[in-house]
């Protein structure tokens, strides 16, 4: 890895490298500026946020917006924390189910050659071709039949199906790259097919499983339009819908909204930053190497 940079250091000026750095700096500014303004706005009072020219840094920064959101003794704090827990519940269950369903399916698509396999694999992948908005009403009616309206079950079932196509595809790529001889050797040693799968194949595909989990989790955490349609009860709402409370017919609480948005982003950003190297590895091995 580092040898590339070692060799290039010998040249007087490496224009490619220079321009690469400049490009990265510009890209970083483009990436960070909106987030930075979000954080700065969240530190302002409602009044200070409404000034022009804007206060680049609040004259009197305040953490009130955060304290308000995290204080369970107030209505807003109680609601925010509940939305937060709801989001965590929905995202975690979705993620666990996605893995439990995707792993065997991907394994079967990779290893077995049952009739209809290709067709079914295509069918799974095609899920992502359908835009969410088109299905809102029929799915609402369906969820009503299933008795899932106003429950987290409706969201989990729906979110599951967004995550699955990519998860199955990614994991299948993993299994395709794991030599079948490994399992055969285990089988000869007396392991059942399930044991061979569970003890040999699963651990080897763990980066894929981690990547799949992150992908499902982020998708479920951020989803808005289905949550908006399926949930009408305050105590079931998830964060993306819940933060709408900061908008009213006649007033907008920008600092409160920005604080809520910032806090809503923290869990997924942290999760992702911690696990990003697995994600790249998983994509390398599961998606790219064919």
Partner 1 sequence: MTTSTPQAASRQTTGAPAKASVWRSIWNHRTDYAYVLPALFAMLVVIGYPVYYTLDLSLFKTPASLQLKDKVFIGLENYSTILSSTSFWKVTLQTLIWTAFSTLIAFLLGLGAALALNREFIGRGILRGLLLVPWVVSAVAASYVWKWLYHSDFGVIGALAVQFGLSDKPINFIDNLQTGLPSLIVVNVWKEFSFAMIMLMAGLQTVPEQLLRAAQVDGASVWQRFWHVTFPHLKGVSMVTILLLTVQNFNSFIIPWIMTGGGPAGATDIWITQVYQLAFGRQRWGAAAAYSVILFVIMMSLGYFYVRSLTSGDRARAVE
Partner 2 sequence: MTRLKLSRAIGHGTAVVALLGSLTSTSAFGASVDVSKWSPEYVRSIAGTEEVDTVGHCNSIVPTDYKGKLTMWYQAIAESDPQIMHQNYDEFWAAFKAAYPNIELDAQGITYNDLLDKLRTALLGNAAPMVVRLQILGGAEFASKGYLEPLKPEDVGYSSDDFWTGAMKSVKWDGVDYGIPTNNETMAFIWNADIFQRAGLDPEKAPATWDDVVAYSKQIHDTLGISGYGLVAKPNAGNTPYRFMPQLWAYGGGTLDEASAEPKYQDVWLNSAESKRALQASYDMYVRDKSVPASALTNTQAENQAPFISGQLAMMIAHPSEYARMQDLASKATGADKAVADEVVSNMRYGLIPTGPTGKRAVVFGGSNIHVIKSEYVDGGKVDEMAAKAMVCMWTSPEWSLKLAWSASNPGNLGGFKTKWMKERLDSIKFLDVTTSMLPNGIPFPVIPEAPEIMNIIIPDMLQNALTGAMTVDQAAEDAAQKVKDLVGGM
Write out the residues near partner 2 by the rule CB under 8 A. 45-52, 59-60, 62, 75-76, 136-137, 140-141, 143-144, 149-150, 228-229, 232-234, 244-253, 256
Residue 194 tokens, joined: 């399930």
CB of 184 to partner 2, least distance (A): 52
CB of 155 to partner 2, least distance (A): 15
CA 201/CA 13 separation, integer angstroms: 48
Give me the DSSP letters along 131-192: -GGGGHHHHHHHHHHTT-TTSHHHHHHHHHHHHHHHHHHHHHHHHHHS-HHHHHHHHHTT--
Distance, CA of 47 to chain centre: 34
- Candidate list 88, 96, 101, 202; residue touching partner 1; CB under 8 A: 101
Q: Strand, coil or helix: what is 286? A: helix
Contact of residue 104 among partner 2, partner 1, none (CB under 5-8 Å per partner type): partner 1
Site residues for partner 1, window 252-281 (CB under 8 A)? 254, 257-258, 261, 264-265, 268-269, 272-273, 276-277, 279-281
Contact of residue 17 among partner 1, partner 2, none (CB under 5-8 Å per partner type): partner 1
Contact of residue 245 among partner 2, partner 1, none (CB under 5-8 Å per partner type): partner 2
Contact of residue 269 among partner 1, partner 2, none (CB under 5-8 Å per partner type): partner 1
Distance, CA of 115 to chain centre: 34
CB of 258 to partner 2, least distance (A): 13
Q: Which residue has the tokens 């206060």?
A: 55
Smaller CB distance to partner 1: residue 87 or 236? Answer: 87
- Asked whether the CA dihedral 251, 254, 255, 256 is positive or negative, the reply is positive
CB of 31 to partner 2, least distance (A): 24
CB of 236 to partner 1, least distance (A): 18
Contact of residue 182 among partner 1, partner 2, none (CB under 5-8 Å per partner type): none
Site residues for partner 1, window 125-154 (CB under 8 A)? 125-139, 141-142
211 CB burial (10 A radius; 0-12, 13-18, 19+): buried
Contact of residue 62 among partner 2, partner 1, none (CB under 5-8 Å per partner type): partner 2
Contact of residue 18 among partner 2, partner 1, none (CB under 5-8 Å per partner type): none
| One character per residue 80-99, x = contact with partner 1 (rule: CB under 8 A) | --------------------
Smaller CB distance to partner 2: residue 216 or 236? Answer: 236
DSSP 9: T
CA 87/CA 217 separation, integer angstroms: 10
CA 56/CA 37 separation, integer angstroms: 9
Smaller CB distance to partner 2: residue 98 or 155? Answer: 155
Residue 57 tokens, joined: 């840094």
What is the radius of gyration, based on Cα positions, of the chain?
24
- Asked whether the CA dihedral 226, 229, 235, 237 is positive or negative, the reply is positive
CB of 100 to partner 2, least distance (A): 29
């Amino acid at each position: 890895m580092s040898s590339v940079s070692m060799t290039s250091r010998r040249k007087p000026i490496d224009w490619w490298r220079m321009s690469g750095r400049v490009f990265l700096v510009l890209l970083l500014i483009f990436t960070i500026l909106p987030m930075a303004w979000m954080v700065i706005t969240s530190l302002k009072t409602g009044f200070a946020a409404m000034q022009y020219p804007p206060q680049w840094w609040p004259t009197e920064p305040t953490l009130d917006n955060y304290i308000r959101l995290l204080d369970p003794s107030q209505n807003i704090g109680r609601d925010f924390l509940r939305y937060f827990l709801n989001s965590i519940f929905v995202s975690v269950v979705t993620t666990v189910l996605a893995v439990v369903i995707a792993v065997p399916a991907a394994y079967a698509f990779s290893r077995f050659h049952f009739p209809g396999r290709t067709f079914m694999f295509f069918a799974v992948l095609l899920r992502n071709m359908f835009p969410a908005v088109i299905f809102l009403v029929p799915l609402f009616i369906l969820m009503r039949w299933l008795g899932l309206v106003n429950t987290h079950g409706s969201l989990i079932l729906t979110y599951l199906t967004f995550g699955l196509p990519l998860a199955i595809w990614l994991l299948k790529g993993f299994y395709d790259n794991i030599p079948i001889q490994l399992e055969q050797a285990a089988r000869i040693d007396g392991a059942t097919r399930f044991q061979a799968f569970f003890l040999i194949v699963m651990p080897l595909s763990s980066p894929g499983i981690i990547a799949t989990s992150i992908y499902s989790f982020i998708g479920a955490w951020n989803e808005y339009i289905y949550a908006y349609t399926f949930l009408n009860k305050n105590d079931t709402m998830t964060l993306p819908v819940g933060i709408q409370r900061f908008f009213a017919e006649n007033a907008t609480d920008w600092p409160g909204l920005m604080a809520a948005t910032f806090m809503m982003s923290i869990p997924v950003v942290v999760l992702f930053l911690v696990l990003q190297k697995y994600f790249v590895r998983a994509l390398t091995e599961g998606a790219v190497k064919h």
